[in-house]
């Protein structure tokens, strides 16, 4: 938190409706969403405007937006407490993104590694929206003057950009502390879940191999099979204090176990010390099934009633708008628009 910002603490985060959620999304984001909701005012957005920075089939986009809502609910987000809504339902996100386009510098965006990773050698053919993605993300957060942002580690750079934009707006318009400098909440063993096939690549929706990730929609059988196939090495489970820097796959599986069981990594290492992967992998698979199966079952139950999901999202959008509208009025006045 910025030391001089006087506003209330508020939590904001978002997930893109671009396909089935995986264990990384669950441990890096959703579990944190649930943990924070009783202590803070929380907004959990389904960022459909971010999703369309790459082509989305319109019918699929709708279905996937409901799927993310169902995942939030199934993971334990309480819609009577936290605010859940689709980004496009609160138009102010787009308006503020434009103002921030005029605050952010091209050089700042040129440094964004996620754009470079996604675009690869093909950046000339990417949408302008994909390039501008982090500016819209800053608008999401600052539209509500959010002070804390629970995310996985891959979002660290985007959060730094949000802070830079907030700071520059405050300086440019001589309104110190108008926007807070939002803090990323990243810590914890689930902040960086890696691929099951490559301990140096992050678990990702876009990995062509489905065996690289555990999807929230996977059945118990599939989860067991995927952990069985997970890459390890010729060694056995490490002892406390062992250096795992050369054993990224093993390190990742221990991290997943710790995040799911909510134990310190050291406790997991001590329990499995010296055992073979033939013992550890089934234990990990059982734990994952125990924790994820209820979420999957609940998700399907919510998805069976799309009207109820839509009602929840409508109500969330109304509550989000009620926070955003007065802040947006102040922003327009600060910029100096006639009639604001």
Give residues in contact with ligand TYM (CB under 6 A): 12-16, 24-25, 27-29, 47, 50, 137, 140-141, 149, 151-152, 154-155, 158, 190-193, 202-203
Give 149 or 258: the residue with its C-beta nearer to ligand TYM.
149
Catalytic residue among 62, 118, 156, 231: 118
**Which token pair is 175?**
């309104």
C-alpha angle 9-156-19 in degrees, rounded to nearest 5: 95
- What is d(CA 179, CA 286) in angstroms, rounded to the nearest whole number? 45
CA–CA separation, 127 and 118 (whole Å): 11
Tokens of 140: 């999401």
Nearer to ligand TYM, 203 or 285 (CB): 203
Say how many C-beta atoms besides its own lie within 10 A of residue 102's C-beta: 10
Extended strands (E) in 47-182: 83-86, 148-150
Judged by beta carbon, residue 217 or residue 270, the one nearer ligand TYM is: 217
Number of H helices, E strands in the chain: 14, 5
Q: Are 170 and 94 in contact (CB under 8 A)?
A: no
User: From the candidates 205, 231, 281, 291, which is the catalytic residue?
Assistant: 205
Return the bridge partners of 13, or none. 44
| Beta carbons of 252 and 230 less than 8 angstroms apart | no
Nearer to ligand TYM, 79 or 255 (CB): 255
Q: How far is the CB of 12 from ligand TYM (least distance, A)?
A: 6
Q: How far is the CB of 196 from ligand TYM (least distance, A)?
A: 11
**95 contacts 328 by C-beta, under 8 angstroms:** yes
Nearest position to ligand TYM, beta carbon: 28
Residue 239 phi, psi (nearest 5): -100, 160
Give the nearest distance from C-beta 279 to ligand TYM in angstroms: 25
In the complex, the smallest distance separating the C-beta of residue 275 from ligand TYM, rounded to whole angstroms, is 26
Whose Cβ is closer to ligand TYM: residue 21's or residue 303's?
A: 21
Sign of CA dihedral 212, 216, 221, 223: positive
Instruction: State the nearest-atom distance from the C-beta of 30 to ligand TYM, in Å.
Output: 8
The yes-or-no answer on residue 118 being catalytic is yes
- In the complex, the smallest distance separating the C-beta of residue 204 from ligand TYM, rounded to whole angstroms, is 6
Residue from 31, 145, 202, 226 carrying the catalytic annotation: 202
CB closer to ligand TYM, 130 vs 236? 130
- H-assigned helices in 48-91: 48-51, 58-75
Catalytic residues: 118, 202, 205
């Amino acid at each position: 938190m910025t030391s001089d910002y006087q506003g209330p603490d508020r939590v904001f985060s978002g997930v893109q409706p671009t396909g089935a959620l995986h264990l990384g999304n669950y441990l890096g984001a959703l579990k944190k969403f649930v943990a924070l909701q009783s202590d803070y005012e929380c907004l959990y957005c389904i960022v459909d405007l971010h999703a369309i920075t790459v082509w989305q089939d319109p019918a699929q986009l709708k279905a996937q937006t409901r799927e993310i809502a169902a995942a939030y609910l199934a993971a334990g987000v309480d819609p009577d407490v936290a605010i859940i809504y689709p980004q496009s339902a609160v138009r102010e996100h787009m308006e503020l993104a434009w103002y921030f386009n005029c605050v952010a510098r091209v050089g700042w965006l040129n440094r964004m590694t996620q754009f470079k990773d996604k675009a690869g050698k093909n950046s000339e053919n990417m949408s302008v929206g994909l390039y501008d993605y982090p500016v819209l993300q800053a608008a999401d957060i600052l539209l509500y003057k959010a002070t804390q942002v629970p995310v996985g580690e891959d979002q660290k750079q985007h959060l730094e950009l949000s802070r830079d934009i907030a700071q520059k707006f405050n300086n440019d318009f001589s309104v110190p502390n108008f926007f807070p400098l939002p803090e990323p909440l990243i810590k914890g063993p689930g902040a960086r879940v890696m691929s099951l096939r490559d301990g140096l690549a992050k678990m990702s929706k876009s990995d062509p191999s489905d065996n690289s990730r555990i999807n929230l929609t996977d059945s118990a059988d599939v989860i067991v099979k995927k952990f069985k196939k997970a890459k390890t090495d010729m060694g056995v489970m490490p002892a406390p204090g062992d250096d795992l820097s050369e054993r990224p796959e093993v390190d990742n599986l221990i991290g997943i176990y710790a995040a799911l069981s909510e134990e310190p990594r050291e406790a997991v290492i001590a329990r499995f010390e010296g055992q073979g992967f033939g013992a550890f992998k089934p234990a990990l698979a059982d734990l994952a099934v125990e924790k994820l199966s209820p979420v999957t079952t609940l998700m399907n139950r919510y998805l069976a009633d799309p009207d109820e999901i839509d009602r929840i999202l409508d109500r969330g959008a109304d509550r989000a708008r009620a926070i955003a509208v007065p802040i947006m009025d102040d922003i327009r006045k600060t910029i100096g628009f006639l009639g604001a």
